Structures are given as structure tokens and as C-alpha cells.
Amino acid sequence: MIKWIYCLLIFSPLFCYSQCKDPSYKSWNEGAITWDDFQGKPFITLIQKSYFAYYFGYEREKLRSNDTTIIRLKAYSFFVKDQSWINPDFKNETYLFYNQLIFDIIEIYRREFQNEIYKINWIYQADQILNNYLYKIDQDIEELENLTLQGNFIYVLQKRRAEIDNKLSDTKDDLKLPIHQSGTGIGAHAGLSIAGLTGSLANYFSPGFGFNFGFDFGFKNFVLYFNGNLNWNHVKQNYSEKNYWEKDTKTGIAIMEVSLGYNIINGSKFKLAPFAGISLIEISNQEIEDDELSKDFRMVDKNNLVFGMNLDFKLRKRFELIPAMNVFRENTETDLRARLYFIPVDFYPDLRGYSINLSIELNGFINIASRKKVD
């Protein structure tokens, strides 16, 4: 029997998007091949019984899994109908059986290839692995052909059929992603804020408007927050007990805090985390440019308690399984965060109260995912 000829293509995802949806392409999951699938024109002049054409390669794919967008490398293989043909003199069940064995062999290697590219640490390794599998397919098809030349054609095919069926049973169609999401992650947030004041503070200083920013460091459900807040307000009425704060003077409220939170709810759409820690709050005169003089118009209360709640609405979750310049996979979450927190303030006996702060922010958080060991 003349060696079977096959074709392959290793091109960009553009090819697979535009071509693999073509009706002339058939995947293994669409069912067994039939003689109707061989739609190419036979080359009768060649001493060849058939021509089996296929594409084998990989592409970048986005897919949805529950509430998460997964970005991965997807292995594919397709039987090419309009390039495959059979010599009419050999159009029988035996040769169709033979072609199905070839189709099944390619499918087994596609599954194994998919598992291998899940485990790569560098993107360029995908091409190296692909070349290895193309060589394996070539060798396996050639070995099958040589076996058929040694004796009982039907017996050889049936024996090979049993071996291939066992391999198909042992290899899954699409392995569960062999990824372990680490409990460790890092995030950043920034947005607009309002700072309200209570007690005697509210008698002399107006609410402030500004922005909130900071970083998150997570371990499992625990989160360490480093947060800063800058707001601008003004003096509501003269205050002269400690220096002279004139009415309508432009002032600013600055807050720095370190707190520890815990995600008591971490669902598909929402995340709720109460937190507590220590803070520093400062009210300063924004109209004085002299640094030395400005020290007399700066009130600071440090080592204060801070407590509050973060409510995150999860806008988008992405799981990046394609390694770039590192060995890490990244699970990225983008949230809309509402942050409410309280700080007791005691500048002077006659200047006390609470700072009540509310911010609306965008928050990005990345969990580093590592590859599980797969047998």
C-alpha cells in the first residue's frame, strides 16, 4: 500500500476563526467519517488508494466558564473534506474503517497535545511541542500502514482498533484545567471619595470631596489594605482656640491607614469584607505656602482606630492561562468597590468627632495561579 499523504497547517488564530467553521472541515466530535466526507477529486493517475487531509495545530481561545473568561491555548484538528478523496475501486467498508483509525489516532494526539500546552512555562514551547506531535502522527500512520502490508489486513485493523479504543477511553476529550489558584494576590484601587465629619469637628469644618487610593495584599480570605485618602474642604466658622482658622479658609483632609480585612462573602458577583486597623488623619490649611508657617496650621491625630466595610461588585474575571515572559498564570478580577469606614478623631478637647468616609472605586486584583502536577 502506498504511503498515505496528509496535509497540515500551523498558522495564526485568524486561520482557525475563519476557516475551521467552514462546512468542509470536520472535527472528531462531529461523528465518524463517511464516504460522503471524501469530497476531493481523486488523482487516478497516482498509484494511491486514498488521500487523507487534515489540519492540526493550536490557537488562542477565549471561553466562558461560569462567571470567568478563560484565555488559553486550544489544540485543534480537522478532517478536510474537499481535499480528501478515495479511489472508487477501493470504496468499501474496509478502507473506510482504515480511514477512521487514522482519524482516531489524530484525535488521541490532539488530546495529548492539549494537555501538554496547558503545562508549558513559556509560549515558544508550544511550537516545539507541536512539531513533536506532528512527527508522532506521521510515524504512527506510517506504522499502521506497514502493519497492513505484513499479513492479514482485516486482523491488523481489528487489533489496532482495540488499542485505539483503549487510548480514547484513557484520554479525556478536554482535560480539566490543571491549574491551582494561589491564595496569594495583590491588587490596587482608586476612585472618588466623600469625607464627612461629626461632633465639634462638624461645627468648624465642612465635609470634604476628593479621591481614595491604595493597595491590597491578599492571602486566602484575609486582605491587608494600605489606603490613602485626600479630600478638600473649608472652614465653616472661625476657630481660635489653637491658632486662628478663619472662616472660608480652604483646608484639606488627609488620611493614611493600614487595616486587615476578611472576606465573609466571596461569591460570583459580590465580595464583602469588614476590616479594622490603625490610621493617621490630618487637617491642614491649603492657602499657606510657607512650609514653616504651615506647620502651625496642621492638626494631626495618629495611631487611631479605623474600621469599616468593603463591598466589591465583580465586573469581570479573567483567567490567563497563556504564559508570556514568566511562569505564572494570572486570575484577574476587576471590581467596582464601595468602601465605607470610620475614624474617631481627637485633635483637641473642643475639636473631636468622627471622620466618616465613603468612596466609590475601581479595584483590580490578581491571584497568581500555578500549574498542578498532572499524572
Give residue limits of the domains in the chain. 13-170, 180-371
Q: Backbone phi, then psi, for 374, in 5-degree steps?
A: -110, 130
Give the DSSP H or E segment for 150: none
Fold of 180-371: Porin (2.40.160)
Whether the per-residue pLDDT at 47 is higher than 70: the answer is no
Q: Provide, for the chain, the percentages of residues in helix, strand and coil under a 3-state DSSP scheme, each rounded to the nearest 5.
A: 25, 45, 25
The vertex-77 CA angle with 122 and 172, nearest 5°, equals: 75
Measured CA to CA, the distance from residue 362 to residue 309 in angstroms comes to 16
Measured CA to CA, the distance from residue 311 to residue 315 in angstroms comes to 13
Residues forming beta bridges with residue 348, ordered by sequence position: 351
Q: pTM surpassing 0.75?
A: no
Cα Rg for the chain, rounded, in angstroms?
A: 34
pLDDT by residue (tens digit) across 242-285? 778 889 999 999 999 999 999 999 888 899 999 999 999 999 98
pLDDT by residue (tens digit) across 3-45? 333 333 333 333 443 445 578 899 999 999 999 999 988 876 6
pLDDT by residue (tens digit) across 156-184? 888 889 999 998 888 776 555 555 566 78
Instruction: Read off the pLDDT band of 124 (50, 70, 90).
Output: confident
Nearest to 57 by CA among 1, 102, 14: 14
DSSP label at residue 234: E
- Average pLDDT score over residue span 79-108: 91
Nearest to 197 by CA among 81, 88, 283: 283
Tell me which of 272 and 150 has the higher pLDDT: 272
